[in-house]
Amino acid sequence: MLVVLTFILLFHVISAILLFISTINNAWWVASAPGGDVIYTDLWYSCNVTCVPVKNSASTDAVYLQAVQATMILSTILCCVGFFVFILQLFRLKQGERFVFTAIIQLLASLCVMMGASIYTAEREGFTEESLRKGGYGSSYVLAWISFPMTVVSGLMYLVLRKRK
């Protein structure tokens, strides 16, 4: 039982780390600037030597970008809350009960990741300037999609897990 709990905790912590990195790191979109410099764009800034806010990110024209920002932040928060709820339930649940509340929180986190990454995939051209559209998806985008199945599997493991001696 201790090995299973260790594996589940490790899986959950790795999911949370991936969510933090994908939300914070500035490599959702990578493009070459006309001068040959590489420009990294995240959900808030475009950076090469200096960072500037994403064009129109605070206006109603970028409502899709704001939705991606909100869902990625919410997924990270839910993943962290799920971890603390699991620790609390580990000591508070009776023997034989399942970690349903933790599973629900983790599955909601995975839903938020899926929504954020899907919106970014569908509306990417609306976020970037014309000169940056000939780029490609960066490492943070890939990490967001990798964290999606990890949070789903983690949530399903919590549904199956029963508290045993």
Q: What is the pLDDT of residue 115?
A: 95
Give the model's pLDDT for residue 89.
Answer: 86
**How much of the chain, in percent, has pLDDT values that exceed 70?**
89
Question: 156 vs 49, which has greater pLDDT?
Answer: 156
pTM of the model: 0.88
Higher-confidence residue of 37 and 15: namely 15
Higher pLDDT, 61 or 81: 81
Sign of the four-CA dihedral 52, 141, 71, 87? negative
Summarised one tens digit per residue, pLDDT across range 91-145 is 887 776 778 889 999 999 999 999 999 998 988 776 666 667 788 888 999 999 9
The pLDDT of residue 9 is above 70:
yes
Name the band, by pLDDT with cuts 50, 70 and 90, for residue 26.
confident
Q: b or e along 75-91 (b: 16 or more beta carbons within 10 Å of the residue's beta carbon)?
A: bbebbbebbebbeebee
Q: Who contacts 112 (Cβ-Cβ below 8 Å, separation ≥6)?
A: 71, 72, 74, 75, 78
- Domains belonging to the chain, first-starting first, are 1-163 (1.20.140.150)
Q: Which strands make up the sheet holding 51-53, listed edge to edge? A: 51-53, 45-47, 38-41, 29-32, 136-137
* Residue 26 tokens, joined: 């500035």
**What whole-number distance in Å separates Cα of residue 39 and Cα of residue 62?**
20
pLDDT at 128: 63
pLDDT tens digits, 62-87: 788 889 999 999 999 999 999 999 98
Query: Three-state SS for 109?
Result: helix
